[in-house]
Structure 1
Amino acid sequence: MTTAQTLQYPQPNERPRRRRRRTTFIVSAVVIVLTLIIGIIAADRIVDYTTEQRIADRLADYGDAEVSVEGFPILTQLASRELNSVHVTADEANYEGVDFTDVNAKLYDVPTGGSKPIGTVEGTAVLPHSTLDELAAEHANLPEGMSFTTVDGELYLKGSMLGQDLLVGIDPNADGRRVVVDATTIKLGSAEFSLDRLPGFLTSEISDIVIDLDFLPAGLELTDITATEAGLQVSLHGSGVSLQ
């Protein structure tokens, strides 16, 4: 009986051998899975880089842009022919002959092909003083010899009168696709006057200055305007935006 019972059970050294085989199989499977994951991630990052370069090349006509495609994985986004989010920045840019600086834009639902417009655009950019002067000369009737400048964080029209420096304090406001500039004060030399205290015939040329921004891509509108030392920072929002 004792001999028969002994033959029914594995020999003492068989269990460790099976455990070693099972452990080896598990380790090999984990290594294979990790290798596949690393390969997929590497491939996705390569595609991400080439996609960013492709977008930057498409924007080259407007300026030297830095492009970052956000979201992971990008392979599934490309398969759907739409990128979730693209971040675009540029120190300088030119669109329709108009110069901008400090461009910072987020583009959502960006099509990867065809003529379908971008879903949503949120961004900011600075219109330098020189650009404001050019736009005002084209779209508004500024008094001759006056130009835009920023003093202590406030936007002014600068000129001269009677041999003294003339500063016209202005309040810029966003109005759809227009910048509406309302004059508020006049500084002549050391004297300062509120605009509403002066006769209308003296202030008519600097009242209700409107700068039209219809050159912007269709679908974009101004949401806010802030004076900076470099010019006017404009905040933009739009849906169904096309750069064509």
Structure 2
Amino acid sequence: MARTAEYPREPPRRRSRRSKLIVTAVIVVLTLILGVIAADRVVDFTTEQKIASSLEPYGEADVNVEGFPVLTQMAGGTLDTVRVTADQAQYENVDFTDVDAELFDVPVDTSRPIGTVEASAVIPLSTIDSLATEHASLPEGMSFTTIDGGLFLKGSLLGQELLIGIDPQAQSRQVVVNATTIKLGSAEVDIDSLPSFLTSSISDIVIDLDFLPAGLELTDIKATDTGLEISLHGTGVSLN
């Protein structure tokens, strides 16, 4: 009896077993979560590569499928947001640079149109010249150039450099350019001070952009050092 009092029996360690079960359950849950995340990232990467491959005819693009999880988006048949960027691209034999596009509600079935597109790109000066030659009537010997953030038509007259200041405007699927100033050598003249028969050939020059994907329209346009930066918006846009 004395030994029993001196060395009492220890109760079963139920708490220890319960703690082990909880830890095991947590590890299992974390493993499952990590597995789902890993699978989602694999699908994400595969989807981005597939989209990039489908865009190869237009140029080398970087594609980022945004939002999580991608698995549920794929199961629903529509990707929430896809961002596409490219240093250079070509569409309908027209060159673009610095392409940055955000696509919303992108269908997994590529035969269906994209919900909404917000994009920007630069049309190089050489491309503007080609488009103007093809879709408008430029004065002979004139070409587009940019100076200090402004767009100009450049040529020569009477042995002196001729610069015609241009104000580009975005109108739906057209670029409309109007002359604002004329500079011949060191002399500059406001276009409004000249009679219309002298300025008719450099006013309301329309560059048609009907080659753009159906559903896209111009929302803004501005001159840069390398060309014209255009902003685009559209709904129900299809590249087919």
Aligned residues: 233
Taking the aligned partners of 2:115 and 2:203, their CA distance within structure 1 comes to 37
- Name the SS of the counterpart of 2:88 in structure 1: strand
TM-score by length of 2: 0.95
**Is 2:29 the counterpart of 1:46?**
no
- Residue 13 of structure 1 deviates from its aligned partner by 2.4
Q: In structure 1, which of residues 195, 198, 213 is the aligned counterpart of residue 194 of structure 2?
A: 198
RMSD: 1.0
Amino acid at match of 1:145: G
State the match for 1:35 in structure 2. 31
Aligned to 1:13: 10
One-letter code of the match for 1:99?
Answer: D
Sequence identity percentage: 68
Aligned mates of 1:121, 1:85 — CA distance in 2: 10
CA distances 1:105-144 after superposition (whole Å, capped 9, x unpaired): 0000001115210000001000110110000000100011
**What is residue 105 of structure 2 aligned with on the other side?**
109
Q: What CA distance in whole angstroms lies between the structure 2 residues aligned with 1:182 and 1:204?
A: 10
Pairwise mapping of residues 78-157 of structure 1 onto structure 2 (< 5 A)? 78-157=74-153
* Aligned residue number for residue 188 of structure 1: 184
Compute the displacement of 1:201 (Å): 2.2
- Corresponding residue number in structure 2 for 1:227: 223
The residue that corresponds to 1:158 in the other structure is: 154
**For residue 3 of structure 2, what is the aligned residue in structure 1?**
none
Secondary structure of the 2:122 match is: strand
Structure 1 partner of 2:208: 212
Amino acid at match of 1:183: A
Q: Secondary structure of the equivalent of 1:52?
A: helix
TM-score, length of structure 1 as denominator length: 0.94
Name 1:238's counterpart in structure 2.
234
Listed as ranges, the gaps of 5+ residues in structure 2 are: 1-7
Aligned-residue offset at 1:233: 0.4
Shift of 1:199: 2.2
SS at match of 1:123: strand
